[in-house]
């Protein structure tokens, strides 16, 4: 195991690599389907990450849709992808795919310098072992949602999509992206999903006694619970819901909300 710390690069493959000592966690921004101000705030947040911690986890559904073509970068994700790549030169970044942005590993690892997994990453924060999983497809009670999960994650789906020219493919997705998720607006359904997810996390913690923390997203419900002595379940909540994020150390975690600094008013032009 190799400590890389602040300013270092983490080896992309090793199970159990130390990512850092103070982990910043963010999830579910759904950029591209949300307002430009949400993306502006996210870019300000990325600028602030080195002051908040020494490593970053993006836990899925950062984009409402992302696909890594071999030669084309989806234009809507340009600013955030570039900012992530730049930040990854300063500190280690781990990213897990969600049901909206699972198709991207090669780009994120090779071009952006992130550690990426479409499903799950396990790494250390200090001496604490952390499993990061977005959470779709694990506890959906409806057949439609589990079928959808199967189709979205099937390698044939990605292969077919890759064969469609990007201008057409991305246009098709604009019409389809609302079907990518299990969009229950029902308050009780969302609460139930959060409860099921917490139970699933408890199951994972008991199955893998070396884990100290399970981080999940997807339900858009912030949660932090010590399910076993010193072992926690964390959902930072959704970035799109009030700029939520979380901080994790080897001994604890904290739910937070980001306050973007108000930019100074424009100065009158000094030059004509």
**One residue of 128, 218, 231, 256 binding Mn ion per CB under 5 A:** 218
State the DSSP H helix or E strand holding residue 235, giving kind and residue range, or none if neither.
Answer: strand 231-235
Residues between 89 and 148 that touch Mn ion (CB under 5 A): 98-99, 136
- Each residue 58-77 as x (binds Mn ion by CB under 5 A) or -, in order, gives ---x----------------
* Cβ-based nearer residue to Mn ion, 123 or 239: 239
**Contact yes or no for 48/258 (Cβ under 8 A):** yes
Q: Which residues contact 215 (CB under 8 A, 6 or more apart)?
A: 25, 57, 59, 130, 131, 132, 133, 234, 235, 236, 246, 248
**Contact yes or no for 23/53 (Cβ under 8 A):** yes
* Cβ-based nearer residue to Mn ion, 99 or 117: 99
To the nearest whole angstrom, how small is the minimum distance from the Cβ of residue 182 to Mn ion?
8
To the nearest whole angstrom, how small is the minimum distance from the Cβ of residue 222 to Mn ion?
15
To the nearest whole angstrom, how small is the minimum distance from the Cβ of residue 218 to Mn ion?
4
To the nearest whole angstrom, how small is the minimum distance from the Cβ of residue 263 to Mn ion?
31
Q: How many CA atoms lie within 13 A of 39 on its CB side?
A: 18
DSSP state for residue 31 in the 8-state scheme: B
Measured torsion, CA atoms of residues 207, 208, 212, 218, in degrees rounded to the nearest 10: -70
Of 53-61, 114-122, 168-176, 191-199: span binding Mn ion (CB under 5 A): 53-61
Residue nearest to Mn ion (CB): 218
Task: Look up residue 106 and give its two tokens.
Answer: 């090669």
* Cβ-based nearer residue to Mn ion, 240 or 248: 240
Strand, helix or coil at 252? coil
* Cβ-based nearer residue to Mn ion, 61 or 140: 61
To the nearest whole angstrom, how small is the minimum distance from the Cβ of residue 6 to Mn ion?
30
Which residues are at the interface with Mn ion (CB under 5 A)? Answer: 61, 98-99, 136, 218
């Amino acid at each position: 195991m190799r400590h890389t710390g602040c300013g270092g690069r983490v080896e992309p493959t090793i199970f159990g690599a130390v990512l850092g000592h103070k982990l910043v966690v963010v999830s579910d921004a759904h950029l591209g389907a949300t307002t430009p101000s949400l993306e502006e705030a996210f870019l300000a947040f990325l600028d602030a990450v080195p002051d908040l911690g020494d490593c970053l986890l993006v836990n899925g559904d950062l984009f409402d849709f992302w696909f890594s073509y071999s030669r084309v970068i989806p234009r809507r994700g340009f600013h955030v992808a570039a900012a992530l790549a730049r930040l990854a030169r300063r500190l280690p970044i781990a990213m897990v795919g969600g049901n909206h942005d699972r198709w991207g590993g090669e780009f994120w690892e090779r071009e952006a310098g992130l550690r990426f997994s479409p499903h799950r990453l396990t790494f250390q924060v200090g001496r604490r072992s952390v499993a990061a999983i977005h959470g779709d497809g694990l506890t959906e009670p409806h057949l439609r949602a589990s079928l959808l999960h199967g189709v979205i994650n099937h390698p044939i789906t990605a292969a077919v999509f890759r064969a469609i020219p990007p201008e057409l493919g991305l246009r098709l997705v604009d019409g389809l992206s609302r079907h990518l998720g299990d969009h229950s607006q029902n308050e009780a359904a969302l609460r139930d999903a959060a409860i099921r997810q917490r139970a699933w996390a408890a199951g994972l913690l008991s199955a893998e006694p070396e884990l100290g923390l399970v981080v999940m997203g997807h339900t858009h419900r912030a949660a932090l619970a010590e399910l076993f002595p010193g072992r926690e379940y964390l959902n930072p909540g959704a970035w799109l819901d009030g700029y939520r994020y979380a901080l994790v150390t080897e001994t604890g975690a904290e739910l937070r909300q980001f306050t973007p600094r108000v930019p100074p008013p424009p100065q009158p032009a000094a030059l004509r």
